[in-house]
Amino acid sequence: MSTTTRPMPAKTEPIAAAPHPTLRVYNTLSREKESFRTVRPGKVGIYLCGPTVYDKAHIGHMVGPVIFDCIKRYLEYCGYDVTWVVNITDVDDKLIKKATERGISMLQVAEENIADYEGNLTALGVDQIDHFPRATDCMPEIIQFIEELIERGFAYASDGDVYFDVGRDAQYGKLSNRTLDSVHGEGGETAARKRHVADFALWKSAKPGEPSWKSPWGEGRPGWHIECSAMSRKLLGETFDIHGGGLDLMFPHHENEIAQSECCHAKPMVTYWAHNGLLRAGAVSGKIGGRTEREGGELASASGQPADVVSGKMSRSKGAGGLADLIKRQGGERIRFFLLRTHYRSTVLFNEPAIEEAGVGLESFYRLFKRYTRITGKDFYALKPATKREQGEPASAGGDPVLTAAATCRQKFITAMDDDFNTGGAIGELFELAKVTNKFCDDADLEGKGKTDAAAIAKFTTLLTTIKELASILGIFLHAPAQAGAGGDELLAKVMPLVIELRASARKNKNFAVADKIRDALGPIGVTLEDRAGGTEWSVGEPASAGGPALDGIMQLLIQLRADARAAKDFATGDTIRNQLTAAGITLEDRAGGTEWTKA
């Protein structure tokens, strides 16, 4: 068997920019953290392997997009012009099988699941992707790439198929630390058409009834690996900066991408290979802002072991699914926060209680933002923070201990992000900054006598603006959460003041039976009341429950309170309940079997 004379690509050959002074990125290829240098000064190209859209998305499909959405935000915060590409595989054996099973076209299957995938990305705040190329839209580029590999002697046609000749690439296996002798390829009917068992398909001849495209080798369709090499070259160039994907893609997919691209171009394909840990169903969780619910990042990234061995990958075959339903139950921001709260190279131990625990951490921030509104009359979400790293550099704190503490938190946040995008460490500093802010608010008595202290209010606003600056890098707290208490369910938001008013009246009149009835009814439906100096606030435990169980439960409570008032001949209270519900757009109808309510 012949071997290649292809020289080892020089790592620094295509890099034109000076290294970033502080940012370091872990490179799976070198198994080291390296100073970040870009191929073109000031520009960053990122390619992330996207889904094969044969079915609805599961939460595992969101890990990479959430992480790289954050990475792009941080790189732009550092002043880089970033282009981020996520591909869509819309032609594949699995799509063809699914289309046959359902009796529809492959295109219909793809379109349906692309819409689901993009909707889930939107719900999780992933909005930084610049290009979504589809394999079926890139056939000319794919065919041209294959032709170039054949011309250079790295690929061969065989009975309508085209295969990459791994024996022509002495560097094959360098990403996953495999030797050619240890690689086992596909068997079956394709084995006889190959020169080596590990040779992989660049083009597959069409079977009767399958979708196909014309090519120099006959009707057919591309293999999986070649599409990413063709798409990345089309949109990012022959060499680009960061290639991301799950750890399970290291071999064979990314290994084969390297072989195709570097044999074709005789230069490095990518400067930094960044692999995120996978999702594993598990019962372990950690304290929010404290110990992690992820594990094994360094080991998994460096082992070269199959991902299922390293992390027990959660996939459809292992019961993953129902992402849209999960988002309805938990909310997109809560899931995003859960995925970001520790390092991206670690395995994510997934369970819903852990996501709910992440929600507890988020609630502490939401309460602080409401506190800011109570004190200043302004909206936290309308604050305009610095969008670039140098813009946010704080002026001299002048010895002020609070501003000094805030500046320290900000610097530690940035240091964590500079250390291979350590979002977990960054989030820890965000919690610390919130703690500093709340303590200052208490010490300055901003909800009491200090509310008229203009200097203290200005300092408080500075602290909140810094929180907004750092949170924006993580892609959180950009908008008010879609939850009752924060503008989520309008109808519930209209009736809750009535519940609070009835409770306050009962307590004032020492009618503790009514006050207790209200309290006892709220707990089971997830509604929490919090009494403060400025009044009583309310929140719903799960974002999705605002328009469902919570609203139903509140209405049943109000109907019962009205019935109790009328039975006690307290017609004023009964009329108040009816009139305020009518004003909120709710109609009560008394029937022989009880009172029913409808939305007007």
Higher pLDDT, 519 or 221: 221
Domain 24-276 has CATH 3.40.50.620: yes
pLDDT bucket at 482, cuts 50 / 70 / 90 = low
Looking at residue 289, its pLDDT comes to 37
Residue 505 has pLDDT above 50, yes or no: yes
Looking at residue 372, its pLDDT comes to 94
Looking at residue 481, its pLDDT comes to 78
pLDDT bucket at 229, cuts 50 / 70 / 90 = very high
Looking at residue 146, its pLDDT comes to 98
What gap in Å lies between CA 147 and CA 67, rounded to an integer? 35
Looking at residue 458, its pLDDT comes to 95
The predicted model gives 157-174 an average pLDDT of 96
Looking at residue 311, its pLDDT comes to 41
- In this structure, the strands spanning 161-164 and 220-222 are unpaired
DSSP H or E stretch at residue 418: helix 401-418
Residue-averaged pLDDT of the chain:
87
Q: Which is it for the CA torsion 563, 568, 573, 575, positive or negative?
A: positive
274 backbone dihedrals φ, ψ, rounded to 5° = -120, 110
pLDDT, one tens digit per residue, over 363-405 is 899 999 989 998 999 999 999 999 999 887 766 666 899 999 9
Which tokens in the block code for residue 349? 């131990």
Looking at residue 292, its pLDDT comes to 34
Q: What percent of the chain has pLDDT over 90?
A: 66
What gap in Å lies between CA 58 and CA 324, rounded to an integer? 8
263 backbone dihedrals φ, ψ, rounded to 5° = -70, -35
Residue 181 has pLDDT above 50, yes or no: yes
pLDDT, one tens digit per residue, over 406-434 is 999 999 999 999 999 999 999 999 999 99
Higher pLDDT, 482 or 215: 215
Looking at residue 489, its pLDDT comes to 62
The predicted model gives 539-561 an average pLDDT of 72
Kindly report, as residue ranges, where domains of CATH 3.40.50.620 are found in the chain: 24-276
